[in-house]
């Protein structure tokens, strides 16, 4: 990689040493010109934002690891490049590993590891790790190249996603990219990946426009026209509701798309949307919204938005909205919903991708290994992160001859019947997975499975 990182940028950038980094251990960024000589392994906890108080790029230069601050055409970004990395020659996506000739397949990951939907990034990355540990040990045993990740935090922002995707392509030279979660972020990153002809696969973005960006962009989850229909049917047919208020997050493509889909089906089924309200991410005071919603006298309130806003909103509306059913989509699927909303979220319903209380052996084995490894119960994003690694590994295996971005793109797009944690994954010609949705009830014990709805 002639134009890559390492030596060429050395002169232009300030370096900071990274001290004390190891798996599960905290690292510190200290002003220093001395590079540290620590092996940081693929899944060392160095990718979390807490390790990078300043925007920094961790570049691996052979046997030493450096952190550098960089600004320029990519803006400020955070990068984690893994051992024996970016300043070596070779094809995109390949990196020397442990001795000359040994190569690994390098895949970029852009996730919401900090910012307003940070639980998605955390769970998604955990899921990816869990799957790759298994996949890589099988690949090693079979004498195949292992898959290594270069993980970047998009801070839950669109512009950071575009910068990260750019960084992964131009500097880290990854073969493909997994990410992002929030649709607005994926839309921003997808433009860059499509332009550069680098396959980008979203584990979780459901807005229909994400994969419409072009043939290099795919997803392993269902889309919002389906999710909206599922929720409208559930509200109208299962719950027998016919007067809805919809509350949207103005700046979220996810929210606006899901609103459209819900409204269409709900009204087709004879329901009426009697009022609509909106808010902006991070709003703290919902009192005006709470009383306007109440004044429409709805029998169901649909909030296509993320947990970080929904939790506090429902908490503030606890008394005013008593007796009215509240429903949402996968954006509510976070353990933080219960922490933020308290008792106000009990008795609400959501549609999502995966039920951790599904009694099947496959799911229970996954839940058990996730809990053992990370000490938490997995939500949908954990399952989707896991499945994105399965789909990617299956596509890599199906490429014949030289592994190129173009061939990998074709292999991803022809994915059929990959048995995932979140269902059986096949991509249609729009590069979307056609999968079941599950309805969950939020209870004091967490999310509880209610029913499955098939496309």
From the CB of 41, what's the least distance to ligand PHE, in Å?
Answer: 28
Residue 388 interacting with ligand PHE (CB under 6 A): no
- Tell me the two tokens of residue 44: 């060392």
The span from the CA of 156 to the CA of 55, in Å, is 15
Which of 9, 60, 163, 183 binds ligand PHE (CB under 6 A)? It is 183
- Which residue's CB is nearer to ligand PHE, number 148 or number 330? 330
From the CB of 350, what's the least distance to ligand PHE, in Å?
Answer: 10
The span from the CA of 291 to the CA of 295, in Å, is 6
- Tell me the two tokens of residue 174: 């990854």
Residue 331 interacting with ligand PHE (CB under 6 A): yes
Could you write out the DSSP letters of every residue in 334-397? SHHHHHHHGGGGTT-EEEES--TT--SHHHHHHHHHHHHHHSS---HHHHHHHHHHHHHHHHHH
3-state SS, residue 231: helix
- Which residue's CB is nearer to ligand PHE, number 16 or number 370? 370
From the CB of 331, what's the least distance to ligand PHE, in Å?
Answer: 5
Mask 94-123, x = binds ligand PHE (CB under 6 A)? Answer: --------------------------x---
Q: Which of 326, 261, 250 is nearest to 294 (CA)?
A: 326
Could you write out the DSSP letters of every residue in 23-43? TT---EEEE-SSPB-----TT
From the CB of 308, what's the least distance to ligand PHE, in Å?
Answer: 11
Residue 197 DSSP symbol: T
From the CB of 255, what's the least distance to ligand PHE, in Å?
Answer: 8
Side-chain-facing half-sphere of 167: CA atoms under 13 Å: 30
- Which residue's CB is nearer to ligand PHE, number 226 or number 266? 226
From the CB of 31, what's the least distance to ligand PHE, in Å?
Answer: 37
Which of 333, 382, 418, 422 binds ligand PHE (CB under 6 A)? It is 333
Mask 200-219, x = binds ligand PHE (CB under 6 A)? Answer: ----xxxx------------
Q: Which of 431, 379, 309 is nearest to 121 (CA)?
A: 379
Contact region for ligand PHE (CB under 6 A) — 21-29, 37-45, 193-201, 325-333?
325-333
The span from the CA of 338 to the CA of 363, in Å, is 22
| 351-370 positions binding ligand PHE, by CB under 6 A | 353
Helix (H) or strand (E) holding 195: helix 183-196
- Which residue's CB is nearer to ligand PHE, number 79 or number 181? 181
Mask 266-305, x = binds ligand PHE (CB under 6 A)? Answer: ----------------------------------------
From the CB of 243, what's the least distance to ligand PHE, in Å?
Answer: 26
From the CB of 103, what's the least distance to ligand PHE, in Å?
Answer: 33
Which of 77, 254, 302, 366 binds ligand PHE (CB under 6 A)? It is 254
Could you write out the DSSP letters of every residue in 145-160? PPEEEEEEE-TT-HHH
Contact region for ligand PHE (CB under 6 A) — 178-186, 260-268, 358-366, 414-422?
178-186
- Which residue's CB is nearer to ligand PHE, number 120 or number 386? 120
Residue 404 DSSP symbol: -
- Which residue's CB is nearer to ligand PHE, number 79 or number 425? 425
| 30-89 positions binding ligand PHE, by CB under 6 A | none
The answer to whether 65 and 32 have CB atoms below 8 angstroms apart is no
The answer to whether 273 and 246 have CB atoms below 8 angstroms apart is yes
CA distances from 397 to 25, 50, 101, 122 (A): 33, 36, 20, 27
Can you give the binding site for ligand PHE, defined by CB under 6 A?
A: 120, 181-183, 204-207, 254, 330-331, 333, 353, 380-381
């Amino acid at each position: 990689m002639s134009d890559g990182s390492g030596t060429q940028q050395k002169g232009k950038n300030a370096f900071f040493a990274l001290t004390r980094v190891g798996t599960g251990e905290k690292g510190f960024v200290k002003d220093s010109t001395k590079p540290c000589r620590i092996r940081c392994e693929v899944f060392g906890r160095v990718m979390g934002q807490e390790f990078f108080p300043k925007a920094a790029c961790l570049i691996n230069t052979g046997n030493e690891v450096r952190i550098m601050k960089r600004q320029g055409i990519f803006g400020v970004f955070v990068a984690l490049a893994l051992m024996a990395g970016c300043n070596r020659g070779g094809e995109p996506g390949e990196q020397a590993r442990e001795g000359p000739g040994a190569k690994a397949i390098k895949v970029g990951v852009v996730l919401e590891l900090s910012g307003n939907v940070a639980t998605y990034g955390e769970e998604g990355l955990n899921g990816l790790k869990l799957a790759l540990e298994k996949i890589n040990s099988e690949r090693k045993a079979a004498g195949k190249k292992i898959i290594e990740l270069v993980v970047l935090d998009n801070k839950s922002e669109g512009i950071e996603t575009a910068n990260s995707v750019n960084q992964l392509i131009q500097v880290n030279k990854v073969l493909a990219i997994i990410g992002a979660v929030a649709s607005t972020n994926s839309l921003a990153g997808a433009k860059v990946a499509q332009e550069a002809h680098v396959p980008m696969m979203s584990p979780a973005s459901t807005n229909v426009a994400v994969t419409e960006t072009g043939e290099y962009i795919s997803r392993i989850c269902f889309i919002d026209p389906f999710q909206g229909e599922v929720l409208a049917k559930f509200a109208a047919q299962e719950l027998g509701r016919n007067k809805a208020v919809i509350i949207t997050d103005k700046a979220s493509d996810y929210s606006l798309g899901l609103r459209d889909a819900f409204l269409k089906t709900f009204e087709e089924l004879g329901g009426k949307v009697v009022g609509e309200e909106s808010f902006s991410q991070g709003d703290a005071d919902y009192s005006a919204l709470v009383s306007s919603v109440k004044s429409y006298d709805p029998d169901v309130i649909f909030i296509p938005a993320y947990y970080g806003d929904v939790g506090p909103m429902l908490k503030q509306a606890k008394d005013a909205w008593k007796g009215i059913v509240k429903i949402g989509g996968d954006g509510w699927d976070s353990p933080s919903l219960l922490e933020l909303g308290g008792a106000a979220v009990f008795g609400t319903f959501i549609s999502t991708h995966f039920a951790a209380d599904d009694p099947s052996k496959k799911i229970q084995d996954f839940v058990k290994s996730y809990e053992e490894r990370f000490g938490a119960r997995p939500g949908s994003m954990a399952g989707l992160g896991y499945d994105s690694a399965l789909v990617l590994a299956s596509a890599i295996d199906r490429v014949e001859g030289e592994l190129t971005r173009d061939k990998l793109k074709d292999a991803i797009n022809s994915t059929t019947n990959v048995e995932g944690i979140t269902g059986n994954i096949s991509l249609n010609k729009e590069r979307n997975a056609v999968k079941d949705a599950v309805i969950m009830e939020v209870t004091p014990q967490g999310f509880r499975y209610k029913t499955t709805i098939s496309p």
